[in-house]
């Protein structure tokens, strides 16, 4: 027969009294409360407020980088900008909260990132202009045509240098906005980051820069360049989806023709 200490007997009696009073197993109740508090911390204290703060800061950044958006002439222009920035902010906050949660639990934060070096190359590094390599042995050009070709290559490279310099400035502004919010919400955890963890953070931030930049291009095209004034009757995401479907349908006959020709 299993023996119990007086303390264990008293603890078990207390559990039985609680079970009778509450109508549930105290251990299961505590487990449920623990899970609730974990979810509360994850979503209510971290993800939701982080999304809200990022959305506001990214809207301000968009207005700074694309000043032509102001003054707003339509209320739905403001809504579209908010919707676009909220999408970027929500995706980024989910990535960040998941990352820091895995760090806290000692889990593999690289899981799901197949071909990690490719992620590093695509998202963790600034834009870099690359000069086209001229394969002289394969070019059958006279001296004048070759000179013109070299000039075109050089001009293209110089344009890339200027364009990528501007893109990197905008990218750094975005990364600074994100970093300030990360320090607000996860500052203590970042103090013990390893180089490997910083690199993964750079990947996550770089991925969200691409999301932000893509949305900026769409907003710039429709609201600034085209200066749309008539409300299309759709929110931002559904409008882009409709435009994508329209483009796909219009391109289908041309793509079919090309396929037959090949």
pLDDT digits (tens, 9 = 90+) for 90-100: 999 999 999 99
195-231 pLDDT, tens digit each: 999 999 999 999 999 999 999 999 999 999 999 999 9
Whole-number Å distance between alpha carbons of 176 and 115? 27
Domain boundaries, the chain: 6-256
111: Cα within 13 Å, side-chain hemisphere:
8
In terms of Cβ atoms closer than 10 Å to its own Cβ (0-12, 13-18, 19+), residue 112 is exposed
Percent over 70 (pLDDT), the chain: 80
Length in residues, the chain: 262
pTM of the model: 0.82
**Structure token digits, residue 66:** 């694309």
**92: three-class secondary structure by DSSP:** helix
**40: three-class secondary structure by DSSP:** helix
Task: Tell me how far the alpha carbon of residue 97 is from its chain's centroid.
Answer: 12
Mean pLDDT of 43-65: 92
**Structure token digits, residue 48:** 């939701």
Q: Alpha helices of the chain — where are they, by DSSP H? A: 6-22, 26-39, 48-65, 75-105, 116-123, 143-190, 195-219, 236-261
Whole-number Å distance between alpha carbons of 96 and 89? 10
Whole-number Å distance between alpha carbons of 93 and 91? 6
Least confident of 58-72, 223-237, 248-262: 248-262
Whole-number Å distance between alpha carbons of 240 and 220? 13
Which of the pair, 180 or 251, is modelled with greater confidence?
Answer: 180
Q: What is the pLDDT of residue 17?
A: 65
Average pLDDT value for the chain = 88
For residue 44, what pLDDT band results from cuts at 50, 70 and 90? low
133-155 pLDDT, tens digit each: 888 777 888 889 889 989 999 99
**37: three-class secondary structure by DSSP:** helix
């Amino acid at each position: 027969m299993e023996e119990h200490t007086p303390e264990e007997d008293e603890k078990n009696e207390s559990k039985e009294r609680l079970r009778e009073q509450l109508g549930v197993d105290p251990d299961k109740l505590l487990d449920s409360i623990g899970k609730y508090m974990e979810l509360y911390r994850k979503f209510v204290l971290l993800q939701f407020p982080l999304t809200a703060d990022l959305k506001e800061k990214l809207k301000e950044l968009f207005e700074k980088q694309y000043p032509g958006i102001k003054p707003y002439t339509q209320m739905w222009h403001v809504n579209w900008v908010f919707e676009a920035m909220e999408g970027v902010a929500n995706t980024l906050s989910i990535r960040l909260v998941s990352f820091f949660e895995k760090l806290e639990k000692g889990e593999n934060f690289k899981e799901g990132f197949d071909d990690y070096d490719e992620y590093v190359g695509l998202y963790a590094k600034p834009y870099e202009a690359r000069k086209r390599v001229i394969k002289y042995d394969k070019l059958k050009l006279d001296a004048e045509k070759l000179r013109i070709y070299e000039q075109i290559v050089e001009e293209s490279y110089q344009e890339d240098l200027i364009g990528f310099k501007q893109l990197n400035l905008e990218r750094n502004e975005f990364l600074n906005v994100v970093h300030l919010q990360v320090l607000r919400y996860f500052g203590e955890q970042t103090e013990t980051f390893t180089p490997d963890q910083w690199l993964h953070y750079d990947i996550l931030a770089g991925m969200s820069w691409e999301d932000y930049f893509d949305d900026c291009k769409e907003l710039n095209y429709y609201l600034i360049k085209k200066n749309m004034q008539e409300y299309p009757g759709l929110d931002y995401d559904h409008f882009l989806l409709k435009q994508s479907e329209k483009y796909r349908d219009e391109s289908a006959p041309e793509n079919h023709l090309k396929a037959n020709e090949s």
